Structure 1
Amino acid sequence: MTAVGSPRFAPRWLELRERADAAARAPELLRPLRRALAGRPGPPGLTIRDLGCGTGSMARWLAVRLPGPQRWILHDHDPVLLAEAGSRMPATAADGTPVTATTERGDLTALTAADLAGTSLVTGSALLDLLTLDEIEALAAACAGAGCPVLLALSVSGRVELTPPDPLDGVLAGAFNDHQRRTEGGRGLLGPDAVAAAVTAFERHGWTVRLRSSPWRLGCAESALTAEWLRGWVGAAHAQRPALAPESTAYLGRRLEECAAGELGVTVHHTDLLALPGPPSGDGG
């Protein structure tokens, strides 16, 4: 799900998280989305752009929940991930009509309204928190200019809950959130502030934004994902605050033991965002 620069995410990590992602995404946003798509002018069929597609988990989840026919354009910087995403698309939509896909490699933050002309829907997963304020505002402007709805899932909210609790939980969470907001390659990432920035950006264009919670709830059945998440979470906190090293190393060891014993529960909070052209419809859907 690379925005710019070199590839970031290993296929194993994306494979580990796919089931948790699918369980977390907010299906209640699909009803207003389907209604908006059904009301679009033009010939039948959807053109959907998946930004930062990774191995294509968002497309695999969404394509079978929307009517077709559908043409997906999968965007990512990593050619290995793009090849996998393109090869694993479902063949049919929710109504049995065909689903096809093409891939585009490049910097998704450079997309303009002209690039999105004819697009029915822009979507992405675990993407917003990797962007800067300027990039989010440019994305909102491009989508508003093209008039295409936007569904962006699983943006980190900055909140995690671990059971049983540990005195270091809050310290590491704060350090991790600071790491998510880091400046990298001259880009000031928004991390957990990204959803609020996106809401402001889309509403500035007169769009309606709906938000729904989409938490990971990780228990015994997701122990491999939990262990990998723990290593990354603690590692990022340590990178942000090196002075935490002795305590964080011991903490990680304790938590991994609890995970292996089936004694650890983790909730990682995310937010799903649906942005639709125009003011609220008034039906609450």
Structure 2
Amino acid sequence: MNRTVPAKAGGKIPAQPGPRGGSETEDSVIPGAGPAPRPGERATVRLRDTGPEEPPRYAPEWLELREPADAAARAHELLDPLRIRLANLPGKAGLVIHDLGCGTGSMGRWLAPRLDGAQHWVLHDRDPYLLHFAAVASPRSAADGSRVSVETRRGDVARLTPDALAGASLVTASALLDVLTREEIEALAAACTGAGCPALLTLSVAGRVELTPSDPMDEEITEAFNAHQRRGDLLGPDAITVACEAFSERGATVRVNPSPWRLGPDEAALTAQWLRGWVGAAVEERPELKARAERYLQDRLAACAAGELHVVVHHSDLLALSRPTGGAS
């Protein structure tokens, strides 16, 4: 039995039938994916127990399409306190950075050139194709010209085990928290704080979208989409609050900054794909919206194609500075 993973505003688009890499029609949604288990994965990252017949994959085409918007949205204000913490790590010849659910490696391409010092990135993802892409396309030098190296670990990041972060300097993730459960976020917070490891967790959906010009259905679609995000035990737009609590309860200092996508005529291709996924998820949650939502979507796509639509998709970035181990202050 296939498991449907909720679409994300600015995140994963629901999986569509057919193999990855197949041709897409103009009106189709780039396929995304959900976690699926495979035997023999590394024990450092456990897999969710879902059906092995489930189609895998986050589409690299979607991840590539969203990368510029992600880079523009991430909260630069969190980098200075992160740099200060990393500069004061005890006995570190270089940084070891774990990127959870790395996809095509966009977080590394954004962050590695903004940090000084030698870096070794450990890339976690369940998709071997994405891991290969991320490794090949990773940056090779830090902000000060120091060397950046990478290794890959295949597996899903549903639950992090304590040994996964041995020797880690930093944990990063992008567009991840809101497809986790409370239990999984608690496990992530426990692993990071137990290792005394800071965490930079970016682009979690906030449950708010602004479209200009507005439409009477905007709020209705938003509410249905948010309900879709909370299917099962997943947290959706509640994830950032749960993560703040989980890290704070374990003694971490937590900062949260907004990181909205701001999409205009120059981002029309991304906006169109996001619209299809956003409305599609809302209709999946509330099928009674189907007829009206189809008209709404066509009107929105027409405005997008005409360069008349502007969209703000709200996200939040979280920096959790755990109490260091090893005697650092």
**TM-score normalised by length of structure 1:** 0.94
Match of 1:35 in 2: 84
What is the distance in 1 between the residues matched to 2:120 and 2:159? 21
Q: 1:253 aligns with which of 298, 303, 309?
A: 298
1:114, CA displacement in angstroms?
Answer: 2.2
Measure the CA separation in 2 of the matches of 1:59 and 1:214.
17
Alignment gaps of 5+ in structure 2? 1-11, 13-32, 37-54, 325-329
Cα distance in 1 between the residues matched to 2:210 and 2:159: 36
Cα offset, 1:277, TM superposition: 1.7
Tell me the distance in 2 between the aligned counterparts of 1:26 and 1:144. 22
Instruction: Within 5 Å, give how 1:99-248 maps onto structure 2.
Output: 99-183=148-232, 188-248=233-293
CA contact (8 A) 2:75 2:258 kept: yes
Instruction: Using the TM superposition, give the Cα deviation of residue 3 of structure 1 relative to its aligned residue in structure 2, in angstroms.
Output: 7.5
Deviation beyond 6 Å, 4+ runs, structure 1? none
Supply the distance in 2 between the matched residues of 1:34 and 1:7 (Cα, whole angstroms): 36
Contact 1:3–1:52 (CA<8 Å) still a contact in 2? no
d(CA) in 1 for partners of 2:255 and 2:80? 12
* 1:156-198, Cα deviation, whole Å (9 max, x unpaired): 0000000000000000000000000011xxxx10000000000
Secondary structure, aligned partner of 1:49: strand
Retained in 2: the 8 A contact 1:155–1:271? yes
Q: TM-score, normalised by structure 2?
A: 0.82
- CA offsets per residue over residues 187-241 of structure 1, 9 Å max, x none? x100000000000000110110000000000000000000000000000000000
Question: How many residue pairs get matched?
Answer: 275
Unaligned stretches of 5+ in structure 1?
280-285
Closer/same/farther in 2, CA of residues 3 and 53 from structure 1, 3 Å limit = farther
| 1:66 CA drift (Å) | 0.5
Percent identity, please.
63
State the partner residue of 1:282. none
Residue in structure 1 matched with residue 6 of structure 2 by the alignment: none
Partner of 1:4: 35
